[in-house]
Structure 1
């Protein structure tokens, strides 16, 4: 078997490869950026390689990737593990569920954190089609991962980049929460369907119009930029409307400093019953937790909405007003309810009250593709 050094030429969708005692950890943000938030949430999410993949051109019929995942969960709750997906010439052909690595378990009752070190994980995919082909190994969207070794029975080289680079920033829904594997998240599906080079800056719990994230997008090459804002502000009860509106304007101003005419899609929140009319903060439902299930609930008071507390309805109205006020011909509002609305909840319920499952990710991707690849769309 041939061992190939892992470099950013092969690893797409990551800002850097951070050396670790074992190997290299893909990180979706430049060094030091995440520290500017004052907490560890953004850094933790940036270290989960959502949308990151190895993109190779090769004639190999066997590919092996040695990695070391880190799985974070809660005591008494069965949270699904991540996976590594194999995409061959644009088609998902195999998925390797992660089984090894480090386990980090938090007891929500006491706050105690238990870390257990496990072995490295070997992904071996064989009987690949003969001849030259494009292989993509999509890394887990919901676990941290260190890359240790890439092996094949024929040489590999970096695959050509797609003609358009799509940068997407949003919440855990954009990161892919509750999708069963990384190539099945809605941004991954849209990128492959539109033939775009994806940079997924979906950050669970951390889409907070942080100035640092606007600067990251401003300074990166992009042909299309997509922003999905709203749910995290409501979840965290982080802002009132008075602060939210100018923060969004400032975020857009910063991006426009680097990308004055790039198509910029601003998406309003998907439907989420618990927060449509009830502000945050978000909490974990203790009854569901006692049954070993993770389910969320809103704990704010709807009576506080006139005083400026945010709900999803308020956020949608505010974002629509921002787009109208800016008179930017390259800024486009995307109605989140057109991607997942109240009528969809009968066939596609949000089992934990917040995140779409795999089938719902596929539904959202289908609807996004119809909008962005249709006549006049940014990928048309």
Structure 2
């Protein structure tokens, strides 16, 4: 008997959008035809030749985007089928990389919430490891992660017992609504919230007055010139199978060498994880990327290990589009041309055809 697939592709119908995109592209081609016709009779017109090059580049970009958007689909995953097969031992291991660079610019409590949401995710704890790269070599970050593990030991069981979907504590407690209003739940909720507030208070106090004697291996370290620091904050063991591995990594830095920023930090994490856990899959997240869906990793792994469609899976990293950016957008972070190509195409064609 053939096992049910772990994911399914459902096509998204967008007939009107396809017709509009195709119409815009045909108009762009007609504009290029006009330019070629004009240049055939006026070959030395530099202005029209420059416009032809620009419009050709724009038409080529529009063609690529048209192809990319030509056949969209929604991927529906079935993680419960994976768990129902009683093949937990076949679920692959995953190493999660969390990167942070500066505790003053990236608040430690944000990094802590990201790590807590990962430690509490719905995935076999013996198949999951979390590596935190601290490029700022901050003792506060290490201390906060060590304290966070103590809270995670009660936070993770609480989330799994009551089916909490959002696993970042600060987001969860910010929502006053509760799905379960039983006395038992209210009692546990108040305990967990109190413990989280205690954790936040400890981190705030450590940031205000830090005693370096608590962590002698950070004594005298310079964030830009120090030896490597690799510490296992929590090791998952069979007799205490509560949380995934949590490893702190602050890579070696020297003033005379380039460290290649985040790319260099990820290279170090890949080497460290290769020696310690060597998971076949790696998930890289920033320090402010929380788990808002408890089964996110299970859903992400389904297409990779589906025995039916395992040869048809590919992931493409799309450029990020940032919110709340500068209005002038000096560095092009908003990717306006890529994101709003239809609007730009219509405006360009309207100007040209009116002219």
Same-fold status (TM-score > 0.5): no
- Answer with 1 or 2: which has the greater Rg: 2
* TM-score, length of structure 1 as denominator length: 0.27
* Structure (1/2) with the larger helix percentage: 2
Q: Larger relative CO (CA 8 A, sep 6+): 1 or 2?
A: 2
